[in-house]
Amino acid sequence: MNSAPIIVTGAAGFAGRHVVRRLLAAGLTVEAWVHREALPADIGLERVRTIDICDAAACRRAIAATRPGGLIHLAAVTSPRDAARAPAAAWAVNVEGTRNVLAPLSPDVPAVFASTCHVYGEPLQLPLTEDTPMRPVGVYAESKMEAEIAARAAHPRTVIARAFHHTGPGQAPRFALAQWARDLESGARPVRTGDLSLRRDYSDVRDIAGGYVRLLDAAPAGAVVNLCSGAAPTLGELLAIMAAGAPVQTAVNPAWLRDNDPREIRGTTARAGALGWGVTTPIARTLRDLRRSMRDS
């Protein structure tokens, strides 16, 4: 990467804040794109631009003014529930917004598009590899698959990073593990859950952020790379780790049960490993830090 600024869209989001920190720690110049949210004060970043990525002209002007040396595109509707409630908005942000962000880039500028393991849909076999056919289910997953197509067409140097489930400090409690962490810290009983027998491949958000940064520098143009741990404990096992051995009273929230939920999602780490990336944070530390962040918030 050269000395020109690295643009991070969705910089105030869960993963975005960690990506910005990682880039700054590496001594790089960063320009954060935000929509409405503000970056945490402790980041102390001066180059912050408020952009609606659905505004193609605004994206073109900003890219022309910044002349970035790289771009990591994280801005998206990231909640499947939010996408289902407002499908037109999810499609506009996830697909058209991706095209608006990537199309104005100079052909020599590397870019990373943050996709998701949800594009694979119900696994026909495990682990999920980058060559597994995409069979998305639901607005969120379908829009992210279409966004991958839009990204490749708009900017051939784009690397597709299919991030699997990740959690850690700063995650909003509308996501399951963060909700459990808040319930445990507040003393709320019972802890509301979905199906605890499901198996999910979870990583620390700080590792996933490092993956995006690594791919920007190391992945060949047009590559598709899974970012995952390669392990899939049950959600019940993750809750037990989070509770640190204390007994937990639970109650199933019917709203969190979905008929099309895969029993297990687990990816392969081979391609990311060949590029020099892998998870380094034990899941017990991730969950401990997640609980602590709820205590401190």
Domain extent listing, the chain: 6-168+202-230+266-280
For 8, residues 6+ apart whose C-beta sits below 8 A from its C-beta are 16, 19, 20, 23, 30, 31, 32, 33, 71, 72, 74
Q: Which one-letter DSSP state was computed for residue 134?
A: P
Beta-sheet pairing, 224-227 with 111-116: unpaired
Task: Return the pLDDT at 32.
Answer: 98
What number of other Cβ atoms are within 10 A of residue 255's Cβ? 9
Task: Return the pLDDT at 166.
Answer: 98
Between the alpha carbon of residue 198 and those of residues 79, 111, 231, the distances in Å are: 18, 33, 13
Task: Return the pLDDT at 296.
Answer: 76
Task: Return the pLDDT at 2.
Answer: 61
Would you identify the CATH topology of the domain 6-168+202-230+266-280? Rossmann fold (3.40.50)
Task: Return the pLDDT at 254.
Answer: 86
Task: Return the pLDDT at 258.
Answer: 79
Rounded Cα–Cα distance for residues 122 and 136 (Å): 8
Of 280, 293, 279, 77, whose CA–CA distance to 180 is shortest? 293
Task: Return the pLDDT at 162.
Answer: 98
Give the distance from CA 209 to its chain's centroid: 8
Of 119, 173, 168, whose CA–CA distance to 141 is shortest? 119
pLDDT in tens, 178-206: 999 999 999 989 999 999 999 999 999 99
Low-confidence ranges of the chain (pLDDT < 70): 1-2, 297
Rounded Cα–Cα distance for residues 182 and 179 (Å): 5
Q: Which residues of 96-125 are buried (b: 16+ CB within 10 A; e: fewer)?
A: bbbbbbbbbbeeebbbbbbbbbbbbbebee
